[in-house]
Structure 1
Amino acid sequence: MDLRDGVAVVSIPATFTAGQEKQWVERMVAKLHAKSVQPTHSDTGLVERAAELSARFLGGRARPNSIRWVTNQNSRWGSATPAARAIRLSHKLQGMPDWVIDYVILHEMAHLIEPSHNGTFWALLDNYPHTETAKAFLLGAAYAADHGLSGR
């Protein structure tokens, strides 16, 4: 099984019956889902993840003093306090794909370098390949939540 441009491609033997194909695809998609959606990350894990993301996409320039999950953010996915170098992530992100959580972490770390949403700020996120997809994902998640949609 491969991921190609965000699409799962499952290869199976040509001799599989339709039933075997269905069973195999369901199994592989479940496996992929389990890998991409982690139940939660500890606050310690968030600090390590932030350091890794900063090094990889921001040249190591953004180093938060703290990054943690909070339950009091209902209208934002995350927030940053540049003076304290503190980042808070909404618990509502937990269970979302890692690439979405990584985008929010990077977005908030970019605020440690550039506080406003100007061109300089958005240029900091240019190297992250999932920026636009993650923004769209979060817009869809917010829409669904605002309209009582569960996707199930």
Structure 2
Amino acid sequence: MKKPTLTRHRTFDPNPVSTNKLQSSLAETERTRALFALAFDSPALDMPHLLWKTYSEFEISEAEYERSKALYEMLLERTKRLKLWISYAQFEAFAMIKVVDLADKRKCVERARDVFERGLSYFRSCGPEMKEERATLLEEWLEMENRFGDVELVRGKLAPKLKKRN
């Protein structure tokens, strides 16, 4: 009986997210960043928002908050999706969890409020067809204020129907 031979095949993973997660798990920080940059330039990229999210999570895991913030801003230049506004505001708000200084914690909440304001302004400028997005963004903002800040700041912006729920 003949022994089976093992053959090594080199495979290419077309999914840049899994490739980059592998690189980051190997502590190849600069290489991972370079692969993310290459993936963004790929014309075959079918779900760029997942790649951006993974890249941002990678930078956060590296404690590179300014790089993460820059990624959010770059993505907002390309798309204005509701989930992106919420994710960015949450990133800013929850950055304060690791902050010790009270003044810095206030700055984190202020930055999150600024993101919510910008998102609200964008959806307001889009007209009545974005009414649901505005309401969802306001609900998320109210939830953040319930945890960290000033609920009254958001209540004035809520539609009467939403005010009754809270």
Superposition TM-score, scaled by structure 1 size: 0.25
Structure whose alpha-carbon radius of gyration is higher: 2
Structure with more of its chain in strand, by fraction: 1
Superposition TM-score, scaled by structure 2 size: 0.24
Greater RCO, 1 or 2 (C-alpha within 8 Å, sep 6+): 1
